[in-house]
Structure 1
């Protein structure tokens, strides 16, 4: 079947690269990436793919020119092949370029079919979501196999101000060429997202290993096969590489350490309370400095941030020869205030109501 990996807008390309690296043949579409496979691939995508925000399994489609036709064909759809009658469901509908254009009317007819044919309970807080999209009069039925957004890895209980989502962090690391073979440092680490994500990649830890998924409530779910898949190792862990996070806020460092411990990374990552001006290059080979610094529209007054970015650039140029730098920001002027030799910035990416871009250098 067709499996749709939902992307953060602007990060479709690195998501396709990741899917390709896992052996799939991805096709980029607006809003995500399409692969093909069976239920095992749906499970694996949720478990292993770092950049998708959710995984949709497209379980069928039919033509619907008017509401009566939608009603009739929805009642004929083989819901019992996919959904259990004892698990509540909810329906989310959308329509584009179609004669049936009212999302509420679409939802009502699909809900009626689920009640009448499956005996399912419809509930707003249901663990399983049926997604219905009618485009050019073609009605496509998908199941959200993820449940909660996939950026919720299961280890982060504490977050700071304006946190970077794990799915985004993973894709920015990929765009920087990070593959788990070099040290990573974040001198404004917040709750530790970049550092923890990088350390997990190096350790061969699967991003979905600690959480529950909606597909565990589907008819197709096989608990024994799932445990085998979840328990399989995906890479030989690299133990010699260092991962470093620092922040001037002691509360942020405490959060980072707690999140790393829950992720099973105690002893593999180092977090310390440190002002940017006091940052020193770690011992060992050069690697990647990646930062999500404050930008005015995100946290507050922008004026003092120019001085902060100038200090950042000075410290990195003087003390991090041979290291590459990646900075995520919504403000090109702040990026340029670092004085770092950036390449052309990456595409715009939606983040918390803003459009951010990745600015990166070659080795300094």
Structure 2
């Protein structure tokens, strides 16, 4: 039976990966999972909001939908916004920003709606409005229903808090986790990335295998709210018992700087003992001495390297090595260009829809175990 303190919690998903976020939320035991465009709604109380930020690997951020009412005009919005118990949620003098969107409603002016909420917040809790603030109150008005959410994450959840060194075009951690899940990774398989960059795929796979919480090293916007209970959150963080797993997480790269970065990042993430990074070109790649697992790689795309001919040669060399050395392994290649993926000569399965990343659209191309 649902408590009266429960409300909708919206897990913002990377576009196109809503189903992956929904599957993870179900696995983690969140209640009332509903997948929809843009994300996933679950039901819970404030400790569940904290748990979502701490434990879920694939969402972008977590929004708590803490109040809603109908309003047909701005004066009504103003009056009802002031009746929300802001003082129970926000500290006096809090710095925040307000964002509003209006759709199919009698209140149709986003800025005017946001201004009414800003004034209510200034008058009730002495809020300081700052467009650069980390704490964000979001108002969505659709069919005259006003729904208030607070962004409880702050910085995007892909920022795990323990990676200090990154290369020029790093794979976001939440996307790495989502692509690993799409490849059927469950923490038991070996994982190898032959162009590891700053080590994102390898480190994320090792953390998943150990059962480490992705948010264990960082802070969140909800920790500034009045209803935050540090003891409860600390108990949530302490509730994990890392699993003992084989040291079967491998990365290689032709750039010695990348190997250094990956090694340092793995140590900071607490998975240094499970990972091994080696300096090697893809044509020199050696199969690890372990059961077949997953090769997953995010090679360079045309947007960053001018000479496309070199890229086709690189993808071709990668495919040739994998076909020769990695029988029984499943391969996943993330790229913007289907032609480059095809240049590997690998027997790819039908692809899932592309995912936005850094101003481009990337697609996971994956195989069955190589014959």
Matching residue of 1:8: 14
Which structure 2 residues correspond to residues 190-205 of structure 1 after superposition, within 5 A? 190-205=197-212
Gap change, CA 1:204 and 1:99, over 3 Å in 2: same
> Is 2:92 the partner of 1:85?
yes
Q: Distance in 2 between matches of 1:324 and 1:355?
A: 23
Asked if the contact 1:74/1:113 (under 8 Å) is kept, the reply is yes
Q: CA deviation at 1:307?
A: 0.9
Q: Distance in 2 between matches of 1:39 and 1:86?
A: 22
Asked if the contact 2:94/2:125 (under 8 Å) is kept, the reply is no
Find runs of 4+ consecutive structure 1 residues off by over 4 angstroms: none
3-state SS, counterpart of residue 40 of structure 2: strand
Matching residue of 1:221: 228
Q: Distance in 2 between matches of 1:178 and 1:295?
A: 25
Asked if the contact 2:247/2:275 (under 8 Å) is kept, the reply is no
**1:159-203 deviation digits (Å, cap 9, x = unpaired):** 112211001000000000001101100000111100000000011
3-state SS, counterpart of residue 105 of structure 1: helix
Asked if the contact 1:87/1:127 (under 8 Å) is kept, the reply is no
> Is 2:330 the partner of 1:324?
yes
> Is 2:78 the partner of 1:71?
yes
Asked if the contact 1:182/1:241 (under 8 Å) is kept, the reply is no
Asked if the contact 2:354/2:363 (under 8 Å) is kept, the reply is yes
Matching residue of 1:125: 132
Q: Distance in 1 between matches of 2:161 and 2:82?
A: 37
> Is 2:273 the partner of 1:267?
yes
Matching residue of 2:3: none
**1:83-119 deviation digits (Å, cap 9, x = unpaired):** 1114322111212222222222122111100011122
Gap change, CA 1:45 and 1:186, over 3 Å in 2: same
Gaps spanning 5+ residues in structure 1: where?
A: none
Q: Distance in 2 between matches of 1:7 and 1:300?
A: 32
3-state SS, counterpart of residue 296 of structure 1: coil
Match of 2:243 among 213, 231, 237: 237
Q: Distance in 2 between matches of 1:299 and 1:8?
A: 26
Query: What count of residue pairs does the alignment treat as equivalent?
Result: 363
Q: Distance in 1 between matches of 2:246 and 2:275?
A: 11
> Is 2:268 the partner of 1:277?
no
> Is 2:182 the partner of 1:179?
no
Matching residue of 1:251: 257
TM-score by length of 1: 0.97
> Is 2:345 the partner of 1:339?
yes
Q: Distance in 2 between matches of 1:140 and 1:300?
A: 47
Asked if the contact 2:94/2:126 (under 8 Å) is kept, the reply is no
Matching residue of 1:150: 157
Q: Distance in 1 between matches of 2:355 and 2:138?
A: 25
Q: Distance in 2 between matches of 1:16 and 1:241?
A: 29
Matching residue of 1:349: 355
Gap change, CA 1:104 and 1:179, over 3 Å in 2: same
**1:304-345 deviation digits (Å, cap 9, x = unpaired):** 111111111110010001110011111111111111111101
**1:253-279 deviation digits (Å, cap 9, x = unpaired):** 111111111111222111111111110
3-state SS, counterpart of residue 331 of structure 2: strand
Asked if the contact 2:93/2:125 (under 8 Å) is kept, the reply is no
Q: Distance in 2 between matches of 1:131 and 1:15?
A: 21
